[in-house]
Amino acid sequence: MSQLTISEVARQVGLNSSAIRYYEQMGILPPAVRISGQRRYDRSVLYRLAVVQRARQAGFALDEIRTLFFGFQEGTRAEARWRKLADRKLAELDAIAQQIKSMQDLLKRMKAKCHCKTLEVCGKGILESGIAKVERPLVTLSPDR
C-alpha cells in the first residue's frame, strides 16, 4: 500500500497540514511513520479524518471526538458509539435551543414594552419589577454581528 505525505492527505480531505499534525499530537490520529523525516500515512488515515470531519460538522468538540475513538470498550461498534454521543449532543442542543427561545422571548418583550428615555430609567423599571436570576447564556453572541 502506498504511503501518503501530509500534504497529499491534507489535499484529499480538505484540511491544512497543521490540523493533521494537531490531530496527531492530540492522539486522534496515530503517529505517522517517518521516511527521511517526512510524515507518511496509509490510506486508513483518510477514513479516520472523514469521521473527525463529520463529527466536527455535527458540533462535536475535539475531546468528544477523542471519546468517540477511545472512550469505549474495545470492540464497541461504531453505531453504538455514534448513538451514545449523539444522544448527549442532542440533549445539549435541546438545552441551547430552549435558552435561545427564552432569550428571543425576553428580547421581544423588551422591544415591545421599553419606552424609556435613559438606561437609568430602564434599569429602575427592571429593578422594581424584580430581576430574575441571571444566568450566563450557553450561546454567546458576538457584539460585532
Distance CA 29, CA 119 (A): 53
Give the residue, 95 or 129, on which the prediction is more confident: 95
What whole-number percentage of the chain has pLDDT above 90?
Answer: 79
> Torsions phi, psi of 2, nearest 5?
-75, 150
Taking the model in full, what pTM does it have?
Answer: 0.76
Whether residue 145 has pLDDT greater than 50: no
Asked if 23 and 52 touch (Cβ cutoff 8 Å), the reply is yes
Q: What domains does the chain contain, in order, with CATH numbers?
A: 1-71 (1.10.1660.10), 73-140 (no CATH)
- Mean pLDDT for 18-46 is 93
pLDDT tens sequence across 48-67: 999 999 999 999 999 999 99
Whether residue 79 has pLDDT greater than 90: yes
